[in-house]
Chain A
């Protein structure tokens, strides 16, 4: 297997693990952790898209090493995606705090609107 193939497979495994825990966990904090794992998988997937064989970081230096540089665009996209993930996580945790205050539990089975 080549390097990007390994990375693609692990990215999709991370996404699947994250989605699985989102679906099966009853603890809301764990569900949010699952979401974050899936987020990581997506970020890994995006970075891998920019992979080039023997590529270096896309930074120009005085004593430049000859050879290709990796694609800078996916790295910029990942930066954005990380920040968005952070914002959503902060909001989700605040909501869980409010739910804990009002219901006294973070178990979705005890919260009417989130049971399934």
Chain B
């Protein structure tokens, strides 16, 4: 019955899209941009100093969206924390109870600095090449996740992670305020010197924001992962 309803609903929606929507996509092969993107491409090198225009859009032109984005991650990490607190054992305990064995444990620990290094590289080159704070932060969190997967005796410094999370969030807002009370008088204005175009130390506050975003993303993800796998020390103790 629900299959039938599903097919009917989706079929109706598809029919509507095909009759109304698809005809509108027929003349689609343009060789130049006619959107605000072309203006951004023209102004970005001077305005932001970032070689990677997508980064310039994410951090500077639409920096407010990125603040919201970081907040989305923050609120879902909070939610996972609130809801996962009651799941102490039983569900995922068996899954993560196995010791990975010496080779995997030592290997994951040996890999940890290198994965973190890659994450840092990707974060700090976000204004020059594809990458930036979001993927960089995810990679750094992955390093910790690999260790969690292989060993059950990992204790994650939760207090430290919470402090980093808060400081990163406040740092983002503080940079915004510096812009608001600087001569530019605008929240999140890029007032740092732009540097030499295309070099590591360029693009004003973009690498700074991306470093903050990376810290925020990494700490949120480590929080979520440790909550979901119950790998953090206090819930382990509570379960025993």
Contact B6 A75 (CB under 8 A): no
Closest chain A CB from B27 CB (angstroms): 10
Expressed in whole angstroms, the Cα–Cα distance for A84 and B3 within the complex equals 29
A53, A60, A91: most-surrounded residue (chain B CB, <10 A): A60
B29 touches A53 (CB 8 A): yes
The interface residues of chain A, by DSSP majority, are classed as: helix
Bound Cα distance A9, B83 (Å): 39
**Residues in chain B near residue A94, CB distance under 8 A:** 79-80, 83-84, 227-228
The residues of B that contact A101 with a CB separation of less than 8 Å are 86-87, 90-91
Interfacial residues of chain B within 9-42, with CB under 8 A of chain A in the complex: 9-10, 13-14, 17, 21-22, 25-26, 28-33, 35-38, 40-41
**Highest count of chain A CB atoms <10 Å: which of B53, B58, B87:** B53
Closest residue of chain A to B225 (Cβ to Cβ) is A90
- Kindly specify which of B61-69, B105-113, B162-170 makes contact with the partner chain: B61-69
Query: B41 to A91, Cβ gap below 8 A?
Result: no
Which residue of B54, B56, B66, B228 is within 8 Å of A93 (Cβ)? B228
Contacts of B57 in A (CB 8 A): 72-73, 75-76
Beta-carbon contact of A58 and B52 below 8 Å = yes
The smallest C-beta distance from B95 to any residue of chain A, in angstroms, reads 12
Question: A59 within 8 Å of B by Cβ?
Answer: yes
Q: Which residue of B lies closest to A18 (CB)?
A: B10
Q: Report how many residues on chain A are interfacial, defined by Cβ distance under 8 Å.
A: 49
Contact: A71 with B35, CB < 8 Å?
A: yes
Q: Mark B81-121, 1 if CB is under 8 A from A, else 0.
A: 00110110011100000000000000000000000000000
Q: Name the B residues within 8 Å of A57 (CB-CB).
A: 130
Set A24, A61, A87: member contacting B3, Cβ < 8 A? A24
Given the known inter-chain contacts A8-B25, A54-B31, A97-B84, please indicate yes or no for A59 contacting B134, CB distance below 8 A. no
CA distance A4 to B2 in the complex (A): 34
Which of B70-78, B148-156, B171-179, B182-190 touches A? B70-78
State the Cβ distance, A59 to closest chain B Cβ, in Å: 5
| Contact flag A84-B51 (CB < 8 Å), given A68-B33, A79-B58 | no
**With contact pairs A58-B41, A116-B2 given, residues A5 and B28 touching in the complex (Cβ less than 8 Å):** yes
A78 to B163, CA, bound (A): 29
The answer, among B14, B25, B69, B72, for a CB contact under 8 Å with A5, is: B25
Contact of B31 among A19, A53, A87, A88 (CB under 8 A): A53
Q: Which residues of B contact A (CB under 8 A)?
A: 2-3, 5-7, 9-10, 13-14, 17, 21-22, 25-26, 28-33, 35-38, 40-41, 44-45, 51-54, 56-58, 61-62, 65-66, 68-69, 72-73, 75-77, 79-80, 83-84, 86-87, 90-92, 128-130, 134, 197-198, 224, 227-228
- Mark A residues whose CB is within 8 Å of B: 2-5, 8-9, 12, 16, 19-20, 23-24, 50-54, 57-62, 68-76, 79-80, 83-84, 86-88, 90-91, 93-95, 97-98, 100-101, 116
Q: Can you report 13 A-B residue pairs in the complex whose CB atoms are below 8 A from each other? A: A8-B28, A12-B17, A24-B2, A52-B30, A52-B33, A58-B52, A61-B198, A68-B33, A71-B33, A73-B40, A75-B54, A76-B61, A90-B76
